Chains A and B, each alone.
Chain A
Amino acid sequence: METIAFYSYKGGVGRSLLLANAARFLATLGKGVVALDFDLEAPGLHYKLGAEQLIGGKPASTGGAVPYLVATAEGSVSPPPLEKHMVSLAVPPGEDGWLTLMPAGPAPHAKYWSALKELGEKLHLSDLSGKGFMALLDLKARIADELKPDYLLIDARTGITELGGLATTILADTVVCMFAANQESLDGTVTVAEALRTAPRLKRKKSIRVVPVLSRASQPPSDERFANGVNRLLELAQGRKANRKVASKPTQPQRKSEVKQALFALPHDDTMATERVVGGEQKASAFSPLYKAYLELFQSLFPTRAEPARRVLERLEEVNDIKKELTKTDGHREYENSLSPWSDSAIQEGVVYEAESSGKKGSRYADLVCRDDSGSPLMVVEFVAKGSDEEAVEFWGKSTKVKCVLLLLKDSTNYVGRAIYTRSAKGSELHKADRSWDLPRPGEFELLSDVGDQSVDSMLEALRRGQVEAVPWLINRWLDSLPSGGGPKGRRHRSRRSGPERARRILDGLAATEDLKCAEEILRRASPRVFGDSRRRRRMRDDFDFLQDMDEQMAAELYAPLFWRLPVEAAIQSMEARHYPGETPPLAGYGLLAQRLMGLQYDPFQNSIDEARAFAASVRRTKGSSEDDDDEFMDHMLYRSQRDWARKVVISSEPPPILVWEEVVREDPFFRGTWREANEKVGSKVQESLEDSRHLRSWLRAKKERSDLVTHGLLGSYDPSGRVDLYVAVIDATAEVLGVSPRHLKSVVFMQLSAWALAHQARDLDFQPGYGFAPSQPWIPFNRESPTHVTLTQAFTDRLIRRLRDPNLLAAFEKLSEHQPKAYRQWSAMRTVPLEELRVLLLRARASATALGLPDAIEPE
């Protein structure tokens, strides 16, 4: 039995806590340990070791060192059984270690203090008869004889006391001398260490091993006097001769090279402020700077247990790192802002995992078990300490149903690598996944049928199942597929040949999304204003020019096509969404049509600013108001302008004007009233017919037969104020009549009306809007739009659809135009017209010239 006394000259240095941790550590590693509380005047080891419920303040529990010694002092030849004075404590499961505490007594109950007083009267430790000394030694010998522990750890009294002196000088083989980072504490400790070196020892006993430990500081103060004291302490620890009576005057400083033994330092640790006992724990949550320091100290303090201590430390550090990684919210993750990390409560630590599959037996230690909300295990993390990874994979694969296993594997060079094994939901065998460093997050287990399979196809499949979390991943992969690889230097695309093909596959997959929530998320994520910002934050080496280029590329090649190809509702939502007040919506979708195809400039916000400024200036000129008033006025104007703009595309449930006019004329062929009067007259009836799909379809079939399915006024309308209405009920019924997808027909109508709106509102190089492209007023009956304008709009819609390369949109466009008036069908003849010529025609039409010489388009039908 090795006896280690924990001593401190001054209190409050964490002596009992260190002892408690050491006791648990040794017990967990299979050693028998007795912890003895000899801090009789301020006992508390039972609190540290979690036995206060059994002992503290309970008069019924009268056992302990003090009652035992009192009984001994009374001269009993047959001392009471030790068990009555001991408490057996639970230790974490592991090897066959045990931990028994001999508390000082039932402190702080009054009975304890009475017993202590009695002991003082009956047992004088300095008694020349040697009775007091024999009583102490007898206790130690009896513990060794009856309990046969491997270690006896004594919590010695602080300061200079008889009991503290005997516990350290006579009873102990090793004395851990703890001191704080102040001169007072150090000088006292040096004094005691000197005394330990010169005190008499029992025959056949080696000299005391002294282990100085600095507490509550990661390193000693740097002043010379303190350094000299520390050096002296370390010399004494190494067994050098003591200089009696020199403690208060530290010896001459030794050269640093002479002092070989390192001073152990236990840093202050807030996580251990509650005096947690974690000794022996191999759970990540036990890991802290203080526990790390403990384990390093234990390696020296218990040389035979040094290797296990090193292994525990190594395991803890690795598992702690993994847990941090699993629970961290930031980082270079594909799923940033999308997939939440694991919550602390979802991760269970240190689980002896029993085989769960029928017919299988055995268990394996899992360092971490990550569970879903219902508590089912999804992933385990194991530091493979013993055996091979094949054994681990065999167990986790065949005896459990976990979907993912992360193995931490140490190679011969002590490098700890990772291997992730996954399986599909169907319960197939575990197989090694490509990923090894980005750890699966909980959402991925819902997102992917196999978290190891992060292919584009797998993510697109998840998206088809409505898993919105796949969106950022896919967009990231799309970025990676760019020739620049989505990064300024590095992350270059691995295969230039497959890059564009993959980008196209991702784009088509995203565009095929039917689910509105997913579609909105796609546009939100594809919007450079959102994604670009998060990338900027992430990159260590920010390259503004590069990012700007990439944002532009992303806007033009990802956001804009998706804006037109995804459901119209999502496009409208993406323009209305505001992440902060005054944010302008992304214009890349309109930009593709206006800038790239029509050759116009479209920036309504800049225009509204210009207009507000001009208006404010004119107000200032006429009213002589101050500039402050102007600013306020301009803000108001801008706000209104932006608000109005946001409402410019509307999914309307109103009856389309053509339906109203036709109905009112059917009822009264000589009706001469206004739009409002017509609406009041037949509005409700038309609304009913809209809801009667049979009636509506029959009416639309008639129009189809007459090739009269006009866009403007029937399927939607564009108002000169800038508002675009989409009459969804009519569009849906028309799609049914035509046998095309309603969603794609809606997009086609949206494109047609948007082309018209841009032709009217966007600026040319002279910053002039297209006044001549003003649409006919829908509330004026039978006032049809210009055939030239219609043909041009259709031609640009065709160009846009071909640019998008979306067969569904093209099919809907072609099918619709087949049954539209002649002007709507001329786009096919315009396909051969070079884009530049088309633009020239548009500019002329915007300047109100209708006689443009367009083939078959100038003649009104």
Chain B
Amino acid sequence: MSNEGLNALVTSAIWRAQQLESLGIGSASQAWSEVSSVEEELAKSHPTSQGQGRIARRGAVRAALKAGDYARAQQLYDSYTSEKGATKALKDALKEILTQDAKEMENRFRFASKQLRVGEAREIARYFHNAGAFGLAA
């Protein structure tokens, strides 16, 4: 598909995801996943040196987080920040997206945040994600 087609697609996908989210419809996260996928495709066709490429990369990570798929967001972040030619500004921008997400989570779970940082929570979550309930599958 051409870049123009992808741009049109991502615009409509973002609009659809926002609408679904504003209406509180459960499939909003799925719509954001689609946005992330389309943004990822756009990122593939635009290098980081191009402004559209940087926008697509940021959009892919943000949409993944919006979709609640933190694993994908982290994976995209790792991938984009290790790209050849990734500027410091892009890296900072991507990190800021993750930081914002963590802050949002801290705001959302403000009682828990008094006891631990989101990063620690994510470490533990990763442990159980990999090792299963009670860590028995480790």
Contacts and interface: CB of A to CB of B under 8 A. Distances in A.
B36 to A, nearest CB: 14
A530 interface: no
Contacts of A126: 125, 128-129
Contacts of B65: 129
A130 interface: yes
A145 interface: yes
B136 A191 contact: yes
Contacts of B15: none
Nearest to B115: A141
Given A121-B26, A126-B129, A141 B111 contact: yes
Interface string B91-122: 00000000001000101111111111010111
B116 A202 contact: yes
B122 A129 contact: yes
Contact of B124 (A133, A196, A198): A133
Nearest to A146: B111
Interface stretch (A158-166, A422-430, A599-607, A662-670): A158-166
A131 interface: yes
Interface residues of B, number: 36
Given A130-B125, A134-B108, 17 more contacts: A76-B108, A127-B68, A128-B122, A129-B125, A130-B105, A139-B111, A140-B112, A142-B111, A144-B111, A160-B134, A162-B128, A164-B134, A166-B128, A168-B134, A198-B135, A200-B123, A202-B124
B52 interface: no
B70 A137 contact: no
A142 B107 CA distance: 13
Interface string B12-33: 0000000000001010000000
B1 interface: no
Given A126-B129, A162-B128, A131 B136 contact: no
Given A77-B107, A196-B134, A128 B112 contact: no
A131 B74 CA distance: 14
Interface residues of A, number: 45
B108 A77 contact: yes
Contact of A203 (B26, B120, B138): B120
B126 A128 contact: yes
A164 B128 CA distance: 12
Nearest to B133: A165
B6 interface: no
Contacts of A168: 134
Contacts of B133: 160-162, 164-165
A170 B124 contact: yes
A132 B134 contact: no
Interface of A: 72, 74-77, 121-122, 125-135, 137-142, 144-145, 160-162, 164-166, 168-170, 191-192, 195-196, 198-200, 202-203, 244
Nearest to A162: B133
B134 A131 contact: no
11 contacts: A127-B125, A129-B65, A129-B68, A130-B70, A130-B105, A138-B108, A138-B110, A162-B133, A165-B132, A191-B136, A202-B124
A199 B134 contact: yes
Nearest to A202: B116
Nearest to B135: A199
A192 B134 contact: yes
B122 A130 contact: yes
A138 B109 contact: yes
Given A126-B128, A127-B125, A145 B111 contact: yes
A141 B112 contact: yes
Contacts of A141: 111-112, 114-115
A135 B118 CA distance: 11
A299 to B, nearest CB: 29
Contacts of A202: 115-116, 120, 124
Contacts of A74: 24
Given A141-B115, A162-B133, A192-B134, A129 B105 contact: yes
B71 interface: yes
Contacts of A198: 135
A130 B135 contact: no
A134 B112 contact: yes
B106 to A, nearest CB: 9
Sorted from nearest, which 4 A-B pairs have the closest CB atoms?
A: A129-B70, A141-B111, A130-B121, A138-B112
B121 A134 contact: yes
A177 to B, nearest CB: 12
A740 B118 CA distance: 110
B134 A195 contact: yes
A827 B71 CA distance: 126
Pick the most buried of A74, A77, A128, A137: most chain B CB atoms within 10 A of its CB.
A128
A137 B115 contact: yes
A132 B136 contact: no
A442 to B, nearest CB: 59
A818 B89 CA distance: 144
A170 B116 CA distance: 12
